[in-house]
């Protein structure tokens, strides 16, 4: 119980960070880890997409529902993609370790498809995106508690195509 409470508090902090416009959900990845403060990031770059817009959205346990926070991130992703129309994306769906491998593979696909459907309804051309699921095969965080699981239940927008993959 104590573990779960801590997890919730940290999740709250993450959301607060997101509201300040700097620490959005997406900056938990590897990209931008070594950047110096104050350095301007080229808006067209993958680094900008990952750190300033946020390249991932998170899900509740066994859910594939796009929440309000996720909608804000996906709206920003769609706006960026509309600005750089030569870019294509792959949406990777992932699950935490609390399910069987095969079920989580389908659950990850359900999450990736939910993101795809949202982005298409927000005006992104369906031909510019594809989806893949990794189930619980590719965890980002390795601890076995909610603080890690909440970050692993994700759909990550991986940008490819055009601009020489800056």
Partner 1 sequence: MNQINYVITAVFVLLAGMAGAQERPTIEIDISGGVIEPMPVAVPDFVAETNGARRLSGDIASVVMADLANTGLFREIPGTAYIAGVTNFNAQPVFSDWSVVNVQALVTGAVSTGNDGQLVVKFRLFDVFAQQQIGEGVQYTGTQDNWRRMAHKVADTIYTRITGESGYFDSRVVFVSETGSKNDRKKRLAVMDYDGANLQYLTDDSSIVLAPRFASNGRDVIYTSYESGLPQVFLLNMESGRRTQLLEDATNMATAPRFSPDGTKVVMSIIEGSNTDIYAVDLSTRQRTRLTNSSGIDTTPSYSPDGSQIVFASDRGGSQQLYVMSANGGEARRISAGGGSYGTPVWSPRGDMIAFTKIRAGRFHIGVMRVDGSRENLLTASFIDEAPTWSPNGRVLMFFRETAGANGAPQIYSVDLTGRNLKRVDTPSFASDPDWSGVLR
- Binding to partner 1, residues 46-85 (CB under 8 A): 64
CA distance 37 to 104: 38
By the rule CB under 8 A, 102 interacts with partner 1: yes
DSSP string, 96-162: -SSS-HHHHHHHHHHHHHHHHHHHHHTT--GGGEEEEEEETSS-S---SSHHHHHHHSEEEEEEESS
CA distance 165 to 152: 25
Give the residue with the Cβ less far from partner 1, 76 or 97: 97
- Binding to partner 1, residues 108-127 (CB under 8 A): 109-110, 113-114, 116-117
Give the residue with the Cβ less far from partner 1, 35 or 144: 144
- The CB density around residue 10, as the number of other CB atoms within 10 Å, is 14
CB of 159 to partner 1, least distance (A): 17
By the rule CB under 8 A, 10 interacts with partner 1: no
Stretch touching partner 1 by CB under 8 A, among 52-60, 75-83, 103-111, 118-126: 103-111
3-state SS, residue 3: helix
Chain residues binding partner 1 by CB under 8 A are 64, 97-103, 105-107, 109-110, 113-114, 116-117, 131-134, 137-144
């Amino acid at each position: 119980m104590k573990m779960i409470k801590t997890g919730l508090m940290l999740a709250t902090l993450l959301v607060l960070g997101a509201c300040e416009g700097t620490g959005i959900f997406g900056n938990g990845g590897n990209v931008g880890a070594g950047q110096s403060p104050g350095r301007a990031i080229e808006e067209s770059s993958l680094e900008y997409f990952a750190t300033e817009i946020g390249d991932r959205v998170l899900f509740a346990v066994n859910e594939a529902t796009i929440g309000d926070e996720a909608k804000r991130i996906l709206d920003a992703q769609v706006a960026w993609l509309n600005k750089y129309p030569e870019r294509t994306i792959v949406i990777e769906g992932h699950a935490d370790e609390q399910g069987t491998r095969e079920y989580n593979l389908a659950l990850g696909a359900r999450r990736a498809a939910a993101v795809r459907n949202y982005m298409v309804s927000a005006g992104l051309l369906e031909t510019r995106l594809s989806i893949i699921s990794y189930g619980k095969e590719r965890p980002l965080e390795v601890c076995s508690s909610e603080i890690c699981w909440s970050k692993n239940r994700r759909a990550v927008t991986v940008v490819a195509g055009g601009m020489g993959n800056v």
